[in-house]
Amino acid sequence: MTAVPALAVDDLSVEFRTRSGTVKVLEKVGFEVDKGETIALVGESGSGKSVTAFAVMGILDPAGRVTAGRAMFGGSDLLAMSERDLAEQRGRELSMIFQNPRTALNPIRRVGQQIADVLVRHGGATSTEAPRAAVEMLKKVRIPDPERRAEAYPFELSGGMCQRIMIAIALSCRPALLIADEPTTGLDVTTQAVIMDLIGELAHESGMATIFITHDLALAAEYCDRIVVMHAGHIVEAAPGRELFSQPRHPYSAKLLAATPGETASLAELASIPGGLPDLRRSDLPACRYSDRCERRLDDCTRPLPRRALGERHMVACWNPL
């Protein structure tokens, strides 16, 4: 690879301090996103997808702490930046969209004003131009009758509309990187497709890198160039979407695919993955956090996880890949 990636996360570890002990939520997470590329972070709930995004954005809960790692973005390390500098970057260079758009917007502020706030903050518009610029953004995310909608409050809009507003807020300053954290959860299926198409198109137009967090492998395969599979705070496999679907190498990815409804599999044939995520508070966590659930476990699996390159863009963290 010659080009500098838009975002390169390396060795990221995050811990949460809780009453019942320290939870090692992420361990040595590393992945890259190229400029203009769309990748998916997939995994079951609790696998650390959102925490990865929050750590990169610097908006972890106060209980969470980055213990190691780097996140190189535009020549500087986001994790080493002061909160002040990071706040300058957030919303301008890197943006984020959340799930549940209805609660992710300020309930008592007009949506146009919320877009304008971000524009004014990052110098995208002066406070006199901002209302008009906000309407322009609404037009860009294809909200019908944008002048009137800019005056609306979130509770007056549908979930799909609210997610468009979120996208408008996130993209208002033309960021280089967009993180979309399950942007279609809680929306109905037709709206899901519309929102995904919209994000895809806008990203393509501006050459923006996109990280798309989801537990829906089918959706990930449809919209993303590469898929990064996470399990219990580890990245277990990263591969181009088609390759992952046709030839998953990590046992967990294979199980995850078998648990995904597709054209060929009927609901009755879907397999569930045995076992659950390991308790991340344990002090004796195995090197491979999937080993307790794994059918292909070897004696080697107690050794530190390998990162095996299987082809140019395919990585698997397993001693006994498929």
Partner 1 sequence: MLKMLLSRLATAIPSLIGVVIVTFMLTRLLPGDPAAYFAGLAASPQAIAEIRTKLGLDKSLPEQFVAYISDLLHGNLGNSLSTGQPVVAEIATRLPASGELTLAALILAVCIAIPLGVLAAVKQGTWIDHLCRIVTTAGVSLPVFFTGLLFAYVFYYLLQIAPAPTGRLDVFLSPPTHITGFYLIDSALTGNLETFWGALRQLALPAISMAIFSLAPLARMTRGSMLSVLGSDFIRTARASGLAPRTVVFTYAFRNAVLPVITTLGMVFSFLLGANVLVETVFAWPGIGLYAVNALITSDYAPVQGFVLTMALLYVALNLAIDCLYGLVDPRVRLDS
Contact 254, 294 (CB under 8 A): no
Q: Does 156 bind partner 1 (CB under 8 A)?
A: yes
> Which one of 116, 133, 169, 238 is in contact with partner 1 (CB under 8 A)?
169
Taking CB under 8 A as the rule, does residue 88 contact partner 1? Answer: yes
What residues does 15 pair with on adjacent strands? 24, 65
Contact status: 230 vs partner 1 (CB under 8 A): no
Please give the Cα distance from 236 to 230 (Å, whole number): 6
Least distance in Å: CB of 141 to partner 1?
A: 15
How far apart are alpha carbons 116 and 137 in whole angstroms?
Answer: 10
End-to-end CA distance of the chain: 26
Contact call for residue 127 and partner 1 (CB under 8 A): no
Residue 92 or 250 having the CB closest to partner 1: 92
Query: Does 163 contact partner 1 by CB under 8 A?
Result: no
Span near partner 1 by CB under 8 A; candidates 114-122, 132-140, 271-279, 308-316: 114-122
- Is residue 200 at the binding interface for partner 1, with CB under 8 A as the rule? no
Q: Which is nearer to partner 1, 127 or 320 (CB)?
A: 127
CB of 58 to partner 1, least distance (A): 9
* Residue among 38, 47, 52, 95 that touches partner 1 (CB under 8 A): 95
CB 179 within 8 A of CB 53: yes
**Of 54-62, 208-216, 283-291, 314-322, which segment contacts partner 1 by CB under 8 A?**
54-62
Question: Measuring CA to CA, which residue among 241, 258, 213, 231 is closest to residue 317?
Answer: 231
Q: How far is CA 107 from CA 102, 110, 185, 254, in A?
A: 8, 8, 19, 42
Question: For residues 273 and 276, what is the distance between their CA atoms, to the nearest angstrom?
Answer: 8
* DSSP for residue 172: T
Out of 22, 76, 100, 185, the only residue in the binding site for partner 1 (CB under 8 A) is 100
Comparison of 108 and 267: residue with beta carbon closer to partner 1: 108
Q: Is 149 exposed, middle or buried (0-12, 13-18, 19+ CB in 10 A)?
A: buried
Q: What is the nearest approach in angstroms of partner 1 to the Cβ of residue 302? A: 39
The reply on whether position 121 binds partner 1 by CB under 8 A is: yes
**Interstrand relation of 209-214 and 177-181 (parallel, antiparallel or unpaired):** parallel
Residue ranges binding partner 1 (CB under 8 A)? 57, 59, 62, 87-92, 95-96, 98, 100, 103-109, 117-118, 121-122, 153, 155-156, 166, 169-170
